[in-house]
Amino acid sequence: MDPRRRQLPPLDLTPWPTTRPPRYCSNSPTTTTSSVARLQAWVEQVYRPGYGHLAATLAPCWSSHDLCLYGLDILSDLWSVLYLQPERTPRTLYAQAEYQARILPALAAQLVTETSGCGHTLPRLRRTS
């Protein structure tokens, strides 16, 4: 087993609807290490293995970008709503198609734009800010 996976918390399979507020913002007192770790678990256990070329575009520095945290929060919660249901209705199937064909690619593109040229992947000595 990949040693990085042992450090990830289990996926939150809390049934929908959830009443929790948005948790991800670098300057928010409600953002906690565990909330980001939960999101990282979803990225490593669901997003990267399951969404091919879209997930491959996610920069390793995504957790340093609020836009990425918000986007992945939406994607992970919506994934839970769509794929952790006890049965698959025609409405759920249609929503899954919307998720994969439109929502996921649009948000993945936002994440790429946000992290392109951000400087996090450059060696520390070459950073300008």
Kindly tell me which of 76 and 115 has the beta carbon lying closer to Zn ion.
Answer: 115
| Residue span binding Zn ion (CB under 5 A) among the ranges 5-13, 73-81, 92-100, 118-126 | 118-126
- Which residue in this structure is represented by tokens 């390793």? 60
Residue 45-64 contact track with Zn ion, rule CB under 5 A, x = bound? ----------------x---
Number of residues that bind Zn ion (CB under 5 A): 4
> Nearest-5° angle of CA 50, CA 11, CA 101?
35
The amino acid at 44: E
> Residues 58 to 97: which contact Zn ion by CB under 5 A?
61
The first and second tokens of residue 28, run together, are: 């928010």
Name the minimum Å distance from CB 65 to Zn ion: 6
Kindly tell me which of 5 and 120 has the beta carbon lying closer to Zn ion.
Answer: 120
How far is CA 104 from each of CA 11, 79, 80, rounded to the nearest angstrom? 19, 10, 13
Name the minimum Å distance from CB 34 to Zn ion: 22
Q: Does 118 bind Zn ion (CB under 5 A)?
A: yes
Kindly write down the DSSP assignment for every residue of 39-76, as one continuous string.
HHHHIIIIIHHHSHHHHHT--TTGGG-HHHHHHHHHHH
